[in-house]
Amino acid sequence: MSTDSIEARVQRSLYGARRWHPAEIAFWVLALAAFFLLPRQLLILNEIAILGLFALSLDLILGYAGIVSLGHAAFFGFGAYAAGLFAKHASADPVTGLAVGMSAAGLLGLLTSPLILRGSDLTRLMVTLGVALILGELANSLGGITGGADGLQGIMMGPVLGLFEFDIFGKVAYLYSLAVLFVLFVLARRIVGSPFGLSLRAIRDNPLRASASGVPLHWRLVAVYTLAAAYAGAAGALLAQTTQFVSLDVLAFHRSADLMLVLIVGGAGYLYGGLIGAVAFKLLQDVIASFTPQYWMFWIGLFLVLFVLGGRELIHGGIKAVVGRVARLGRRAST
Amino acid sequence: MTIRRTVLKGMLGLALAASVSGAALAQDAVKIGLILPMTGPFASTGRQIAAAANLYIQEKGASVAGKKVELIVKDDTGTADVTRRIAQELIVNDKVTAIAGFGLTPLALATAPLATQAKTPMVVMAAATGIITERSPFIVRTSQVVPQIGSPFGTWIAKQGTKRVITIVSDYGPGHDVESSFSEAFKAGGGQVENIRVPLQNPDFSPFLQRVADAKPEALLVFVPSGVGAQFMKQFVERGLDKSGIKLIGTGDLTDDDILNGMGDIALGVVTAQHYSASHDSPENKAFVEGFKKANPGLRPNFMAVGGYDGMHALYEGLKKTKGEGGEALVTAMKGMSWVSPRGPISIDPETRDIIQNVYIRKVERVNGELYNQEFETIPNVKDPTKAKK
């Protein structure tokens, strides 16, 4: 076997992974169909889309590059404040604001990335947590800019693309968030299916061997960390724009922790994990909390414990089986 | 065939009737959305207010102006974007007549634009920063305004002949408000004041207390979020400051009724100012406390609970005036309303939609084996001093 054939095989497998699976198409059709089928739930759907994007961002670094983070809210919050302040002082156009939020968070990711290059997982947990805490305290003490504990108010958003005004039912908000999520998802999907994405997985599985094979460890990690930060910033910007408000808790620890849970529920390392986790987590929370507003956390906690103890394989196995069946059906239909 | 047709017709008729009566029922119900932090660090706020609101409905009956009252309690976990989303869902999906609750200032501020947009009355039952009622003409407040307590307390302390005070406040919005309103009034009364701010998250007070011990002021004013008060008290005693002759004073948050009894003897003698104490001496309050304790064994109502109770009263009386109508009419009906609450006589300022109430100076004493804030002086009908100046 020559090296040529290995390259060809890798290329083939990458192309194969890049092809859209019928279950994936079904997922996005469902997401769009939800807009028409669940007109009463658009607000929570919008929140799910934002949380999904945020989880996607964590999946990029955790699932693909193996970087653990307990402070991902730092980028989420930074993007939210950047977008909020931009809307308040510069321009009310949502798409420009989104770009500003993404770039600001991406820049922060780039600047803080040297911190995650060193040390083990434990130090990374602490360092990322520390960055988020520092930002949280900064946002609190720079009350003149951020509004401090009262939150950033007076954000008035213009219509999306100059056409669609945000409405009280959350119609435009959901479609806007979903569109952004979809575009960024497709981009992420393309990136992880590229040789770059493959090298990330190599780093995750065995950094020593990856660097021995000539993968520039540091630059790859910096690149993906910056990218993930920009994604988290986009999620934050969406939240700021669709709720027209930014409060200190966008930087709070519980956001990073919840995000970890979302990814645990959905499973890391296949991009859809964050999205599925976000749907499951939010729906569970909403349904249980409307039954028992005081004790819903108990049930969520119980669910998570059981889930981690054993249900996870069951549920994921079930999903995989369904996906396999759909794929077979799709193949049969196409032949 | 004919039989089947008749049956079908009958079923159709039934279904129609059901849907019509359903619609009639929906029209006859007044829904109130109560959004509170029921979990997380501010869960006690939510628990108190929800308990008080339920108590009010239980006492006054679940109907007003011939319509059924339906209370929908939702947990916002103390997170602003969740509060806003829930408020939006309640307005759009459940078509509530009014929204109420709001445990913290940012939660209320995040929701204020919605109230304006949807013309839905919004009753703030807890959040206490001054600016809230200015953010929407649909906001009515039944809790308190921070300077309403801090300012008269500063004047009163100065009047007692106290010359030097140090303030310790948590470094966030309400803390700053207490600091500035108290200091301003106290200085105007001829006193000298030094301000110290401590971090809101997990504060360790010992370095700050050391500074206080070195400076030896006559009194130390403390404002910390309710719950942290017990922690502060412990460190105050550990440092021996209770024996140094420095008098401990504060807003009522320090000796919150909810946790006061658990503080033990170290709290004895602390002088505070606030609008409500569970030991307020009036028949209205006796009935309120008794009903509250009966419905919630082991829980003593605090100032949050009374804010929720009075909020429900404002809504009930307003709805009686408007015959169940919401929107602007309901806000107008609540403006200028005055009644005797468990905390004493109160009214809603028709201009600012903020609460006007008595502020009491209290001292922690042991009564029948339990610690209470015993009121010994009343400053009547205090308006928000910041808004009164404008």
Q: pLDDT tens digits, residue range A238-263?
A: 999 998 889 888 998 888 988 988 88
Distances from the Cα of B246 to the Cα of A128, B205, B217, B267, B312, angstroms = 42, 16, 6, 14, 41
Query: Do residues B178 and B146 make contact, with C-beta atoms less than 8 angstroms apart?
Result: yes
| A117 or B342, which is more confident | B342
Question: Which of helix, strand or coil describes residue B325?
Answer: coil
- CB pair distance less than 8 Å for A43 and B88: yes
Q: pLDDT tens digits, residue range B148-187?
A: 999 999 999 999 988 999 999 988 778 888 999 999 999 9
Per-range mean pLDDT, top range of B180-184, B205-209, B221-225, B254-258: B180-184
Looking at chain A, which residue has its C-alpha nearest residue B104? A150
- For residue A88, give every residue at least 6 positions away whose Cβ sits within 8 Å of its Cβ, in sequence order, or none: A152, A154, A155, A156
Looking at chain B, which residue has its C-alpha nearest residue A241? B81
Sign of the four-CA dihedral A107, A112, A117, A122? negative
The pLDDT value given to residue B153: 93
Sole residue written with tokens 């645990």? A264
Q: Which residues in chain A have Cβ-Cβ distances shorter than 8 Å to B50?
A: 293-294
Q: pLDDT tens digits, residue range B288-325?
A: 999 999 999 888 999 999 999 999 999 999 999 988 88
* DSSP per-residue codes, B298-313: T----HHHHHHHHHHH
Name the residue type at position B69: V
**Average pLDDT across chain A, whole number:** 86
Q: Is A290 on the interface with B (CB under 8 A)?
A: yes
For residues B102, B107, B111, B115, the Cα torsion angle rounded to the nearest 10 degrees is: 30
- CB pair distance less than 8 Å for A140 and B172: yes
Q: pLDDT tens digits, residue range B74-105?
A: 998 888 888 998 999 899 888 999 999 998 88
Structure tokens, B134: 């200015």
Lowest mean pLDDT among A161-175, A299-313, B13-27, B67-81: B13-27
Predicted-complex ipTM score: 0.76
The side-by-side arrangement of strands in the sheet containing B63-64 is B63-64, B67-75, B29-36, B98-101, B122-124, B139-141
- CB pair distance less than 8 Å for B88 and A248: no
The pLDDT value given to residue A42: 87
For testing contact with chain A, the best of B48, B71, B85, B119 (most A CBs within 10 A): B85
pLDDT at residue A16 greater than cutoff 70: yes
Q: Is A289 on the interface with B (CB under 8 A)?
A: yes
Q: Which residues in chain B have Cβ-Cβ distances shorter than 8 Å to A297?
A: 39
Please state the domain extents for chain A: 23-291
Query: Do residues B47 and B38 make contact, with C-beta atoms less than 8 angstroms apart?
Result: yes
The pLDDT value given to residue B314: 93
Lowest mean pLDDT among A18-22, B94-98, B353-357: A18-22
CATH topology (fold) of A23-291: ABC transporter involved in vitamin B12 uptake, BtuC (1.10.3470)
The pLDDT value given to residue B4: 53
Q: For chain A, what is the HEC assignment?
A: CCHHHHHHHHHHHHHHHHCCCHHHHHHHHHHHHHHHHCHHHHHHHHHHHHHHHHHHHHHHHHHHCCCCCCCCHHHHHHHHHHHHHHHHHCCCCHHHHHHHHHHHHHHHHHHHHHHHHCCCHHHHHHHHHHHHHHHHHHHHHCHHHHCHHHCECCCCCCCECCCECCCCCCHHHHHHHHHHHHHHHHHHHHHHCCHHHHHHHHHHHCHHHHHHCCCCHHHHHHHHHHHHHHHHHHHHHHHHHHHCCECHHHHCHHHHHHHHHHHHHHCCCCCHHHHHHHHHHHHHHHHHHHHCCCCHHHHHHHHHHHHHHHHHHHHHHHHHHHHHHHHHHHHHHHC
CB pairs under 8 A between A and B: 95
Give CA–CA dist A332/A24, Å, rounded.
Answer: 17
Distances from the Cα of A209 to the Cα of A1, A120, A295, B25, B311, angstroms = 22, 17, 49, 70, 66
Q: Which residues in chain B have Cβ-Cβ distances shorter than 8 Å to A250?
A: 81
Distances from the Cα of B132 to the Cα of B138, B149, B177, angstroms = 11, 16, 13
Q: pLDDT tens digits, residue range A39-88?
A: 888 888 999 999 999 999 999 999 888 888 888 999 999 999 999 999 98
pLDDT at residue B13 greater than cutoff 50: no
- CB pair distance less than 8 Å for B81 and A47: yes
Confidence of residue B202 (pLDDT cuts 50, 70, 90): low
For β-strands B338-341 and B370-382, DSSP reports them as unpaired
Give CA–CA dist A45/A47, Å, rounded.
Answer: 5
CATH class given for the domain over B25-144+282-353: alpha beta
Question: Which of helix, strand or coil describes residue B141?
Answer: strand
Q: pLDDT tens digits, residue range A270-294?
A: 889 899 999 988 888 888 888 887 7
CATH topology (fold) of B147-274+359-389: Rossmann fold (3.40.50)
| A17 or B344, which is more confident | B344
The pLDDT value given to residue B39: 85
Start and end residues for every CATH 3.40.50.2300 domain found in chain B: 25-144+282-353, 147-274+359-389
Rounded to an integer, the average pLDDT of B59-68 is 88
pLDDT at residue B1 greater than cutoff 80: no
